[in-house]
Amino acid sequence: MTDPTTTVSTRDAPQGPALDAHLLVDRGAFRLDAALRIAPGEVVALLGPNGAGKTTALRALAGLLPLSGGHVTVRGRRLDDPAERVFVPADRRNVGVVFQDYLLFPHLSALDNVAFGPRSHGASRARSRAVAADWLARVGLADHTHAKPRQLSGGQAQRVALARALAVGPELLLLDEPLSALDAGTRMDTRAHLHHHLAGHPGGTLIVTHDPLDALILADRLVILEAGRVVQEGDAATITAQPRTDYVARLVGLNLFRGTASGATVTLPGGFTLTTSESCDGPVFVAFPPTALALHPHRPEGSPRNVWSATVAGLQRHGDHLRIQLAGPLDTTADITPAAAAALRLEPGSQVWAALKATETRVYPDSAD
């Protein structure tokens, strides 16, 4: 928990969810229509492809973009409600924001950057600097109080920005792609620091990110946004086990298809059928990992229940494997070893046979239909 003696807050004894919002924003042909709710102490990650509306949502919550409709309520305080003609400007919201490029004041030291928040909330200069010194110590930068932003590494700058946001005791903390500017080595260390501090933040936290690893490690719950709407939400186990859109399936590394089940047979659009190990009836999703697909130069004999001819559409390195894009009655991806790819002499345009065991598939109801 945050020590109240070293935090400045503009509200006492807040009540209600950290965030209760229905974001309606019209920007030309694009419309954001998304409901978001975050409990105190909860960390939620907002993921989605480019153009999904993630940045629009963050700007609306921060007070940088007014709503067209709906509302934003933070700990029981209505911050934006066009119907009621309520709009609280960004500088009067107890909402902390860490932007993607951190936006530290280049002419101020790390100490004064962090002290800026408490000072702008009415604390005295001495009090603000004391709060800032405490927060810099908490994020492991007690020895960098006098450093200017240009003297800090990327990871250090990110921690200064986090300390500045947390120093005002925000009821809602917004993080915009907080690790995207860091190199791989720094990113791992900074992610661990960030996880530690978010775990101790008593308010709600929303992380806007495109990186599934950041979301899975840092967040308690994931919200998936596509084309301005929430398409799926839940904990990491639920999302990864049962993706409901192609974007989510790619995010968690699964092949995903919609079809209609009759017993252990699922008929896909176009008439192709898959045999599964589970019996269902009605609209379903069928998912399987790329590692479940075996590739053969000729039609295989034996146990696989699902076999089809495919054309290699592309190859790319994927960790220790090669990821093969396959076109055919099913457009899928397969992960195989470089040695297997060499033995098959795979290249774009190659013809192969794909085999999938029924036991490797997951089948679950398509509740959207």
Evaluated on CA atoms 233, 235, 236, 240, the torsion sign reads negative
pLDDT given for residue 102 in this prediction: 85
122 backbone φψ class: left, alpha, beta (φ>0; ψ -120 to 50): left
Residue-wise pLDDT tens digits, 42-85: 999 999 999 999 999 999 999 999 999 999 999 999 999 999 99
The yes-or-no verdict on residue 6 having pLDDT over 70 is no
Backbone angles phi, psi at 48, to 5 degrees: 170, 160
Joined tokens for residue 62? 């921060």
pLDDT given for residue 23 in this prediction: 98
- Give the residue from 208, 228, 226 showing the smallest Cα distance to 218: 208
The set of long-range contacts for 27-32, using a CB threshold of 8 Å and a minimum separation of 24, is 27/56, 30/56, 30/228, 31/228, 32/56, 32/57, 32/60, 32/228
Residue-wise pLDDT tens digits, 191-245: 888 888 898 899 999 999 988 888 988 999 999 999 999 999 999 888 988 999 9
pTM for the full model? 0.83
For 261-272, b where at least 16 C-beta lie within 10 A, e where not — what string? beebbbeeeeee
Mean of the pLDDT values across residues 87-100? 91
For the chain, domains (ranges, CATH) are 4-241 (3.40.50.300), 255-365 (2.40.50.100)
Q: Would you place residue 3 in the very low, low, confident or very high pLDDT band (cuts 50, 70, 90)?
A: very low
pLDDT given for residue 303 in this prediction: 66
pLDDT given for residue 43 in this prediction: 96
* Average pLDDT across the chain, whole number: 90
Question: Cα–Cα distances in Å, from 156 out to 115, 132, 142, 151, 183?
Answer: 16, 15, 11, 9, 13
Q: Would you place residue 183 in the very low, low, confident or very high pLDDT band (cuts 50, 70, 90)?
A: confident
pLDDT given for residue 9 in this prediction: 47
Joined tokens for residue 353? 């046979």
Residue-wise pLDDT tens digits, 320-368: 889 999 999 999 999 999 999 999 999 999 999 999 999 999 999 987 5
C-alpha span between 283 and 366 (Å, rounded): 5
